[in-house]
Chains A and B, each alone.
Chain A
Amino acid sequence: MSDERTYSILEARGLSAGYGSGDAIRNVNMHFYDKRITAIIGPSGCGKSTLIRCLNRMHEEIPGTQVRGVVALSERNIFHMDPVRLRRQVGMVFQRPNPFPTMSIFRNVAAGLILNGLRGERSLAEVVETSLRQAALFDEVKDKLDQPALNLSGGQQQRLCIARALAVEPKVLLLDEPCSALDPIATAKIEELLLQLKDQLTIVMVTHNMQQAARVSDWTGFMLMGELVEFGRTDEIFTTPRDPRTQDYITGRFG
């Protein structure tokens, strides 16, 4: 648990979003603090996935999505930015591991750089190794970097996807239920990994697993029917929630 409040690197202000009829999220105001893990919890359909997708404009991939309000990355409205440049700063990892099936482990991690034609002063091999180490995967795959990524287990594939996202050095990493397709041991590894990563970047995670939010995050937002019901420090949310709806949800007394 990190106690000090850092500055807010990402912020949603009056954010509403919806698909055609009705809003999936309504008037969300939320801060995401630098180098902290923020968890968004809530029941299915509460809008938490919509919210996290809005944070790097991946919602635009779902036809017919409309957004009102502002999301600011270091005080710049992301809806006025080039989505391609935005996503290099705000990366995303998805619910199901989605390595590129036609590529080797190495090329998967390097994909962001290769596909973008980005070459810094560091060599590709260096970037790949660093990213795999950050994702706590290097030791498991160092002898088979040229094998297809699909040969890895589900948990390893998800860590590969995290390594792939890290390789482009984002400031913020969004994770949309990153463990929901994984077994408990693979889940525990990802959780440990996130705790290590928060020294380097800001993490926003959607999860339907409350214990996971409790174990991992510094800040927690609870969403219900498209509204952000409560947002606060994780230890406070899980010991003394202010809103009775939060209390009901986290104690499993819902509905």
Chain B
Amino acid sequence: MMERHFEKVEAELRERILHMGGVAEEMIRQSEEALLERREAPIVRIAELEEEMNRLHIELDDRCLKLLALHQPIAADLRFIMACIKINSDLERIGDQAVNISQSTAYLLRLPPIDPPPFDIRRMVALARQMLRDSLEAMARKEVALAESVAHCDAEEDGLKKAAFIASMRLMQSDPSTIERALTLILITRNLERIADHATNIAEDVIFWAKGEDIRHNRNRKETNP
């Protein structure tokens, strides 16, 4: 049996999705650099990356639409396209969150840093990045176990965000001069938590594609309440 033409189209689509994932990762990495190292340059870079992200978002939507229209995929092929459509929009949202972080960071850079920081934001950033990287890796290798591990990390990120919220509240109560900066930090933790959610969605879509099982909403999932 020769290779199906559809497989070629499918591989191309997957390659574009992973490329888009790479852009999203880079955006998070740049916002991390701006936030943690207090640098301006990455913020400009993020604006450029967002433009590419938007182009990719439209391109991938178009690809998926045409693939559905022209190939009428079914079974695993159909699940793959479904997953791609959803992953596409998750990645675009991740990009938006990275932009939000960079904007908040731009604000923070105009003020002196809080010393010592009220909570460990490094861990939250690292975890969000790790979750996105793992979900994309799971997509690239169609690896269910890795995707499942991403879903488990989501709880930790939620916990970190809650802890950060409480620590920030305490700081603001004890030293009102930190209110502006602490509130901004809370916004950033919320952005990070959203990124983790989107990464989790991606992982769930990978599992749906690979196994045909919908594992969403089966666990007690956190609700964000700042």
Contacts and interface: CB of A to CB of B under 8 A. Distances in A.
Nearest to A214: B70
Nearest to A185: B1
B224 interface: no
Nearest to B8: A195
A93 B65 CA distance: 32
Interface residues of A, number: 15
Name B's interface SS.
Answer: helix
A234 interface: yes
Contacts of B65: 239
A232 to B, nearest CB: 13
Given A136-B2, A214-B69, A238-B70, 5 more contacts: A1-B9, A1-B70, A191-B5, A214-B72, A235-B69
Interface string A198-226: 00000000000001001110000000000
Nearest to B3: A192
Contact of A215 (B2, B3, B5): B5
B122 interface: no
A245 interface: no
Interface in B88-108: none
Using C-beta atoms within 8 Å of the partner chain, give the interface range for chain B.
10 to 19
Interface in A174-210: 188-189, 191-192, 195
Contacts of A216: 5
B179 to A, nearest CB: 52
A235 B4 contact: no
Contacts of B72: 211, 214
B66 interface: yes
B71 interface: yes
A238 B3 CA distance: 24
A239 B5 contact: no
A150 to B, nearest CB: 25
A141 to B, nearest CB: 16
A234 B70 contact: yes
Given A211-B72, A214-B71, A215-B71, A239 B2 contact: no
